[in-house]
Chains A and B, each alone.
Chain A
Amino acid sequence: MAKVVLDFEKPIYELEQKIDEMKKLSESIELGDEILKLEKKINELRMSVFNNLSRWQKVQLARHPERPYALDYISLMCEDFIELHGDRHFGDDKAIVGGFAKLGDHSVMLISQQKGRDTKTNIYRNFGMPQPEGYRKALRLMQLAVKFNKPIITLIDTPGAYPGIEAEERGQAEAIAKNIFEMSGFPVPIIVVIIGEGASGGAFGIGVGDRVLMLENTWYSVIAPESCSSILWRSWDYKEQAAEALKLTAPDLLQQKIIDRIIPEPLGGAHRDYKKMGMILKEVLLEEIKNLKKIKPEKLLESRLKKYGNMGEWDTL
């Protein structure tokens, strides 16, 4: 895989390279102390960079092309997974994957948007932008979960629902509306995790749940900062300001009580340590499933209705 290095990752990578070179050299010369010093320096640098990211930098991290995607998490976390295909009406949308998954002792229905890694796979996955048949496949799979009383886990990672002619003609709006409507009434636990980008209705089409979690370096909002910039500032140049104004990071959304929990990522981001990231997420999911399974279905639905009913603020004259 070709390394993609973001601007703010650069100094860290440079130091890491230096250490690698020194380690090679140290086979012939003694450089132990130097290496230790440098490693300490890298760690300090990592801390100072990653604890002070701007909102726009977090958006960039959420989009990092080396981040683990849905299928990576599935292979990192699940003992077994059978992917199921098609919406039974039109086709099989490759931008959404889903199927029965074994997570520890639990059988769950796992559904996610899926991005590609390179041009070819991105075209195959339509850059993680679902069409109506993707949302309808997700709905069909969730209905299966309800039928067999299995928890639903959705992983969200999309730059948005696909804005195309055919997508519109096949009812993109209706497909998303229907999912949001139905998800609010499924009598099984639903856990939603933002693993990368959570862009607007395209994300929310599989995003209604009892517990909504966000990985540390992800974003979630009603619009992408670039599009927000183009509409409100009438220019593409204000994406950084838009990201700030939208308050779209995990800590922002936790504070707004829109999400329930932040899942920490390995230092430097999920892409720096797949194995560790997979382990962290799995542990959190097992804990969440265990807790939700204790709640009776009627109570679950009541809390879900209340949860979304409480979202919003206004004044009275």
Chain B
Amino acid sequence: MAWFKRSKENISIESQKRDTPEGLWKKCPACGEILHIQTLKENLSVCSKCNYHFRIGSEEYFSFLLDDKSFKEYDAKMISKDFLNFVDTKKYKDRIREAIKSTGLKDAIRYGTATINKIPVSIACMDFEFIGGSIGSVVGEKIARAADLALNKKIPLIIISSSGGARMMEAAYSLMQLAKTSSRLNRLAKAKVPYISILTDPTTGGASASFSMLGDIHIAEPGALIGFAGPRVIKQTIKKELPEGFQKAETVLEKGFIDLVVHRKEIRQTLTRLLNFIK
């Protein structure tokens, strides 16, 4: 659950004040380059100097991956519910309300149908910005429904993951979403409907321990953190420094759990080529 530590990074480009001079520029956390917001956006939020991939959300992914105006969203009105009356330093109820207000999203995922170079797909994309992309009932249900949509329409399924893992405030229900999503993906696989998983920064915990790691093909963005336990937890456990590049997409590729590491600009074309092979 890295989202608490990195709250500064989670602020999306959209939510920053654009009118102020400071709001016009953004510093690359990898190379320190000062990037003009507009230019950065045109470059799909990738640093033009070092290729650092900034975190982006469903709105941006849909905009450059899908054919213009082809996206039809399903179940856009589902929101999380505080059914356990969970209180930590805040009430879960308030967390949900605040996240909806600050992000303009309804939860940490959106899904629907669309076309990619005219190929129809069922697509779901997570939003890390929304409570760390954590997996609660809404995320689990929407992934299950995206899989069912692919099954019923016999169209490929694409899931773009960006998640720190469990939504603790939904406790055991959060854990059960791993079986809800995996069982529906199992049924999809038995029907031989293709599923491509796209892993972005970060894909850890409950996401990687279920739907994100169950694709026919795994595509990761460069530099994305991909693993089960978060680096902080591992460091605490083993009391040693972690090796260079540990849990980075490029290393995970070397270890055999990813098929391709693909630059954000090339994902649309890679998907098209793959889908043309499979169909």
Contacts and interface: CB of A to CB of B under 8 A. Distances in A.
For A220, A222, A246, the residue with the greatest tally of chain B CB atoms inside 10 Å of its CB is A222
Given A173-B213, A242-B88, A314-B137, A253 B183 contact: no
Contacts of B178: 177, 180, 201, 204
Interface of A: 161-165, 167-174, 176-178, 180-185, 200-201, 204-205, 208, 220-223, 227-228, 231-234, 238, 241-242, 245-248, 253, 256, 258, 304-305, 308-309, 311-317
A184 B183 contact: yes
B190 interface: yes
B228 A201 contact: yes
A174 B256 CA distance: 11
6 contacts: A204-B179, A221-B171, A221-B175, A308-B180, A312-B180, A314-B78
Interface stretch (B25-33, B115-123, B204-212): B204-212
B176 A311 contact: yes
Contact of A315 (B79, B208, B209): B79
Contact of A231 (B168, B211, B226): B168
Interface stretch (B9-17, B45-53, B152-160, B239-247): B239-247
B185 interface: yes
A309 B184 contact: yes
A232 B183 contact: no
Given A163-B234, A200-B166, A228-B168, A308 B183 contact: yes
For A164, A248, A304, the residue with the greatest tally of chain B CB atoms inside 10 Å of its CB is A164
B157 to A, nearest CB: 14
Contacts of B211: 177
B69 interface: no
B79 A316 contact: yes
B24 interface: no
Contacts of A304: 183
A312 B141 contact: yes
Interface residues of B, number: 67
Contact of B229 (A172, A220, A308, A315): A172
A162 B81 CA distance: 32
A185 B37 CA distance: 48
A200 B205 CA distance: 9
A168 B237 contact: no
Interface string B146-184: 000000000000000000001010111111111110111
Contacts of B171: 221-222, 245-248
B44 interface: no
A254 to B, nearest CB: 11
A234 B185 contact: no
Q: Which 3 A-B residue pairs are closest in the complex by CB-CB distance? A: A312-B137, A163-B229, A184-B183
B89 A233 contact: yes
Contact of B183 (A185, A204, A247, A313): A185
Contacts of B186: 181-182, 184-185
Contacts, number: 198
Contact of A177 (B176, B190, B210): B210
Nearest to A168: B227
Given A227-B233, A308-B183, A313-B137, 5 more contacts: A172-B229, A182-B186, A222-B170, A231-B168, A314-B81
B277 interface: no
Contact of A165 (B144, B243, B257): B243
B34 interface: no
B77 interface: yes
B173 A312 contact: yes
A277 to B, nearest CB: 24
B214 A168 contact: no
A231 B132 CA distance: 13
A154 B22 CA distance: 57
A314 B79 contact: yes
B179 A168 contact: no
A245 B77 contact: no
Contacts of A309: 144, 180, 183-184
B136 to A, nearest CB: 8
Interface string B237-268: 11010110011000100011100000000000
Contacts of A162: 237
A113 B80 CA distance: 34
B4 A231 contact: yes
Contact of A171 (B138, B204, B205, B257): B257
Contacts of A238: 88
A45 to B, nearest CB: 32
Nearest to A313: B83
For A208, A223, A248, the residue with the greatest tally of chain B CB atoms inside 10 Å of its CB is A223
A173 B242 contact: no
A183 B183 CA distance: 8
Contacts of B257: 171, 173-174
Contacts of B184: 305, 309
Interface in B127-146: 136-138, 140-141, 144
A161 B228 contact: yes
Contacts of B205: 201
